[in-house]
Amino acid sequence: MRVTVRLFARLRDIAGAGELQRDLPAGASVHTVWRSMVSDFPELSAYESSISCAVNADYSRFTAAVADGDEIAFLPPVSGG
Amino acid sequence: MRVTVRLFARLRDIAGAGELQRDLPAGASVHTVWRSMVSDFPELSAYESSISCAVNADYSRFTAAVADGDEIAFLPPVSGG
Amino acid sequence: MNLTAITTAPLNQQAVAASLDTAGIGAVSVFLGLVRDRNQGRRVLHLEYEAYEPLALRGLDLIVAEAREQWPAVRLAIHHRIGRMAIGDASVVIAAASPHRADAFAASRYAIERIKQIVPIWKREYFEGGDVWIEGATADPDNAGAREQALRIACA
Amino acid sequence: MNLTAITTAPLNQQAVAASLDTAGIGAVSVFLGLVRDRNQGRRVLHLEYEAYEPLALRGLDLIVAEAREQWPAVRLAIHHRIGRMAIGDASVVIAAASPHRADAFAASRYAIERIKQIVPIWKREYFEGGDVWIEGATADPDNAGAREQALRIACA
Q: Which domains does chain D have, with CATH numbers?
A: 4-154 (3.90.1170.40)
Nearest to C32 by CA among D19, D95, D105, D27: D27
Distance from CA of A26 to the nearest CA of D (A): 26
Residues 6+ apart with CB under 8 A from B22: B2, B3, B4, B5, B33, B36, B37, B72
Mean pLDDT across chain A: 97
Distance from CA of D75 to the nearest CA of C (A): 14
Please report the sign of the dihedral spanned by the C-alpha atoms of residue A54, residue D74, residue C81, residue C109. Answer: negative
Mean pLDDT across chain D: 96
Q: What is the mean pLDDT of residues D136-149?
A: 95
Give pLDDT, residue C13.
Answer: 96
Give pLDDT, residue D110.
Answer: 98
Q: For D55-94, what is each residue's pLDDT tens digit? A: 999 999 999 999 999 999 999 999 999 999 999 999 999 9
> Does C139 contact B78 at a Cβ distance shorter than 8 Å?
yes
Residues 6+ apart with CB under 8 A from C130: none
Give pLDDT, residue B12.
Answer: 98
Residues of B with CB under 8 A from a CB of C: 6, 8-10, 13, 50-52, 54, 57-59, 73, 75-81
Q: Which chains have 3 or more CB–CB distances shorter than 8 Å to chain B?
A: C
- Kindly provide the residue ranges of all beta strands, DSSP E only, lying in chain C, ordered along the sequence: 4-7, 27-34, 38-39, 42-51, 75-81, 83-86, 90-98, 121-127, 130-134
Q: CB-CB: which of C12, C27, C32 is closest to D28?
A: C32
Give pLDDT, residue D156.
Answer: 65
User: Percent of chain C, pLDDT > 70?
Assistant: 99
pTM of the model: 0.96
Q: What is the mean pLDDT of residues D42-46?
A: 97
Give pLDDT, residue C156.
Answer: 64
- Is CATH 3.10.20.30 correct for A2-75? yes
User: D36 contacts in A (CB within 8 Å)?
Assistant: none
| Chains B and A physically touch (3 or more Cβ atom pairs below 8 Å) | no
Q: CB-CB: which of C22, C32, C36 is closest to D99?
A: C36
Q: What is the mean pLDDT of residues C93-118?
A: 98
User: D10 contacts in C (CB within 8 Å)?
Assistant: none
Q: Is D23 on the interface with C (CB under 8 A)?
A: yes
The identity of residue C156, as a single letter, is A
| Chains C and B physically touch (3 or more Cβ atom pairs below 8 Å) | yes
Q: Is D85 on the interface with A (CB under 8 A)?
A: no
Transcribe chain A into DSSP letters: -EEEEEE-HHHHHHHT-SEEEEE--TT-BHHHHHHHHHHH-GGGGGGTTT-EEEESSSEE-TT-B--TT-EEEEEPPB---
Q: What is the mean pLDDT of residues C90-94?
A: 98
Transcribe B11-78 into DSSP letters: HHHHHT-SEEEEE--TT-BHHHHHHHHHHH-GGGGGGTTT-EEEESSSEE-TT-B--TT-EEEEEPPB
ipTM: 0.96
Distance CA(B37)–CA(B73), nearest Å, equals 11
Q: What is the mean pLDDT of residues D6-20?
A: 97
User: C24 contacts in D (CB within 8 Å)?
Assistant: 36-38
User: D135 contacts in A (CB within 8 Å)?
Assistant: 9-10, 50, 76-79
Q: CB-CB: which of D33, D133, D141 is closest to A81?
A: D33
- Find the helix packing angle between C101-118 and D101-118, rounded to 10°: 180
Distance CA(C122)–CA(B8), nearest Å, equals 8
Burial B11-30 (b: 16+ CB within 10 A, else e): bbebbeebebebebeeebbb
User: C91 contacts in B (CB within 8 Å)?
Assistant: 80-81
pLDDT score of C155 more than 90: no
> Does C55 contact B50 at a Cβ distance shorter than 8 Å?
no
Which helix (H) or strand (E) is C59 found in, with range?
helix C53-70
> Does D22 contact C88 at a Cβ distance shorter than 8 Å?
yes
pLDDT score of C60 more than 70: yes
Q: Kindly give the pairing relationship between strand A71-75 and strand A2-7.
A: parallel
Distance CA(B73)–CA(B60), nearest Å, equals 9
Q: For A10-49, what is each residue's pLDDT tens digit? A: 999 999 999 999 999 999 999 999 999 999 999 999 999 9
User: C19 contacts in D (CB within 8 Å)?
Assistant: none
* Three-state secondary structure readout of chain D: CCCEEEECCCCCHHHHHHCCCCCCCCEEEEEEEECCCEECCEEEEEEEEEECHHHHHHHHHHHHHHHHHHCCCCEEEEEEECEEEECCCEEEEEEEEECCHHHHHHHHHHHHHHHHHHCCEEEEEEECCEEEEECCECCCCCCHHHHHHHHHHHHC
User: B77 contacts in C (CB within 8 Å)?
Assistant: 135-139
Nearest to A53 by CA among A1, A3, A16, A17: A3
> Does A81 contact D54 at a Cβ distance shorter than 8 Å?
no
Q: Is D117 on the interface with A (CB under 8 A)?
A: yes
Distance of CA C115 to the CA centre of its chain: 5
Euclidean distance between the first and final Cα of chain D, in Å?
A: 31
> Does D24 contact C36 at a Cβ distance shorter than 8 Å?
yes
Distance CA(C61)–CA(C70), nearest Å, equals 14
User: Percent of chain B, pLDDT > 70?
Assistant: 100
What is the pLDDT confidence band of residue A69, given thresholds at 50, 70 and 90? very high
What is the pLDDT confidence band of residue C127, given thresholds at 50, 70 and 90? very high
> Does A51 contact D138 at a Cβ distance shorter than 8 Å?
yes
Give pLDDT, residue D1.
Answer: 80
Distance CA(C84)–CA(C8), nearest Å, equals 8
List D residues 95-154 in contact with C (Cβ-Cβ < 8 A).
Answer: 99, 101, 104-105, 108-109, 112
Euclidean distance between the first and final Cα of chain C, in Å?
A: 31
Query: Which of C21, C29, C93 to mutate to probe the D interface, most D CBs <10 Å?
Result: C29
Q: Is C43 on the interface with D (CB under 8 A)?
A: no
pLDDT score of C48 more than 90: yes
Q: Is C73 on the interface with D (CB under 8 A)?
A: no
Give pLDDT, residue C1.
Answer: 80
